[in-house]
Chain A
Amino acid sequence: MVNVMARPGADQIWQWLDELPDPEIPAISLTDLGVIRDVAWVGETLTVTVTPTYSGCPATSIINMEIEATLRHHGIENLELKRQLSPAWTTDWISDEGRRKLREYGIAPPQPAGGPDRCPRCGGTDLERISQFGSTPCKAQWRCRECLEPFDYFKCI
């Protein structure tokens, strides 16, 4: 049982959560992705508020499991995971750090214009869409006409 005096603060908890990779795109963390909306102590219970990216995303339950396992590992026993649907998750919540890591990993980060700005491999700007959907609910498939490589684009929603 974590006693009140030794109770880790929100900053500490965010630090632990920063280290959790997204289960499907391990290059970025759950905090980079922006799905963890709030961390707060309510009495003796730590409440972590999580929002799903897509309503049917199968990673959602894995994400909850990882959060719970990590926090329990750090000694937190009274834990509540709260699902928050509104405001709905938006790709605007992906951190700048997350966007940088996505590009390095080979996934073009979301753009308000609705398509990638440049090829994550060669930086080319002559791009075409192959499909509005991709290997996960959050991605679409594009191709670079300069290096001819296909690549994933993180859909902007």
Chain B
Amino acid sequence: MAGNDKDALLNFLLRMGDSALILGHRVSEWCGHSPVLEEDIALANTALDLIGQTQLWLEYAAEIQGEGNSADDLAFLRDAWDFRNFLLAELPNGDFGRTMMRQFLFDAWASILLPRLAQSSDPRVAEIAAKAAKEAAYHLERSADTVVGLGDGTAESHDRMQAALDYLYPYVGEMFLSDEGDAALAAAGVAPDPASLRNEYDALLKRVMNEATLELPDTRFTHSGGRDGRMHTEHLGHLLCSMQWLQRAYPGSTW
């Protein structure tokens, strides 16, 4: 594999793995704190699926990187500037409504991208995506239902969901940004150009937000800096402190 292609594939795998990892960790923060037991279990299971997907993506990323790292090394021993997750994934949970809105915005993207990746010319990418696509479809069913239930719920829940959408929407556009590496992967049939997913995503969002009686902000402004590692939000460092402390304090510990 030529150097540029290798870099593009590695970047792509880190974006997939890191976004699943950071969102999975965020969602796991609800464990033991959710409004009701059923939601607690549902969030923990969603986090578990995401962290399982992380394992598959980062394992492949480590192989492509070829420096003898494991998936665990990549997850626990890199610092903020090496992470390639979308900023959306690292934003704090806020209230339950904001957590579920973020989940929906992510699930909607994953449910469109993963079935296409299942057709990837890279067989390893294809098999990981085929597995993850089933889980993403199931997650989307729940997060969309919850967004509709709370959006079209009480005046209080409606206002909170609208506030969540207003807060999170400026982070959505980053999932559809493209660079030269994306173009190379698209040309090679490894992954679709992220920008090519936007129309389908917008249609899905419009449908669900209509049903939820929520208004989509009309600006296309987007924060960015996560997928290219240029600049994460201040929230990522705090998340890593908590997620990585054990391997930092006791390197190589296992159980």
Chain A: residues with CB nearer than 8 A to chain B?
52, 54-58, 85-89, 130-135, 137, 141, 155, 157
User: Taking CB as reference atom, which chain B residue is nearest A86?
Assistant: B127
A137 & B48 in contact (Cβ 8 Å cutoff): yes
Known: A130-B38, A132-B138. A87 touches B55 (CB 8 A): no
Chain B residues with CB under 8 A of A86: 123, 126-127, 130-131
- Nearest Cβ on chain B to A33's Cβ, whole angstroms: 16
Chain B: residues with CB nearer than 8 A to chain A?
38-39, 41-42, 45-46, 48-53, 55-56, 123, 126-128, 130-132, 134-135, 138, 141-142
Chain B residues with CB under 8 A of A157: 134, 138
Chain B residues with CB under 8 A of A89: 131
Known: A55-B52, A56-B50, A86-B127. A132 touches B134 (CB 8 A): no
With contacts A133-B38, A134-B41 known, what are 18 further pairs, Cβ within 8 A? A52-B52, A52-B131, A54-B48, A54-B49, A54-B135, A55-B55, A55-B131, A55-B132, A55-B135, A56-B48, A85-B130, A86-B130, A88-B130, A131-B42, A132-B142, A133-B46, A133-B142, A157-B138
Contact of B141 among A58, A132, A137 (CB under 8 A): A132
B131 & A85 in contact (Cβ 8 Å cutoff): yes
B130 & A87 in contact (Cβ 8 Å cutoff): yes
User: Taking CB as reference atom, which chain A residue is nearest B56?
Assistant: A55
CA distance A110 to B132 in the complex (A): 19
Contact of B51 among A56, A130, A132, A133 (CB under 8 A): A56
A137 & B49 in contact (Cβ 8 Å cutoff): yes
A56 & B49 in contact (Cβ 8 Å cutoff): yes
Q: Can you identify 12 A-B contacts, CB atoms within 8 angstroms?
A: A52-B131, A54-B49, A54-B52, A55-B52, A55-B55, A56-B48, A56-B49, A56-B50, A57-B52, A87-B130, A133-B45, A134-B45
B49 & A55 in contact (Cβ 8 Å cutoff): yes
CA distance A56 to B135 in the complex (A): 10
Query: Across chains A and B, which 10 residue pairs bring their CB atoms closest together, nearest first?
Result: A56-B52, A55-B52, A86-B127, A131-B38, A133-B42, A56-B48, A85-B127, A133-B45, A88-B131, A132-B142
B38 & A141 in contact (Cβ 8 Å cutoff): yes
CA distance A89 to B45 in the complex (A): 18
User: Taking CB as reference atom, which chain A residue is nearest B126?
Assistant: A86
CA distance A55 to B54 in the complex (A): 9
User: Taking CB as reference atom, which chain B residue is nearest A138?
Assistant: B45
- Nearest Cβ on chain A to B164's Cβ, whole angstroms: 20
- Nearest Cβ on chain A to B187's Cβ, whole angstroms: 24
Chain B residues with CB under 8 A of A56: 48-53, 55
CA distance A107 to B132 in the complex (A): 25
User: Taking CB as reference atom, which chain A residue is nearest B37?
Assistant: A131
User: Taking CB as reference atom, which chain A residue is nearest B134?
Assistant: A157
User: Taking CB as reference atom, which chain A residue is nearest B45?
Assistant: A133
CA distance A132 to B39 in the complex (A): 9
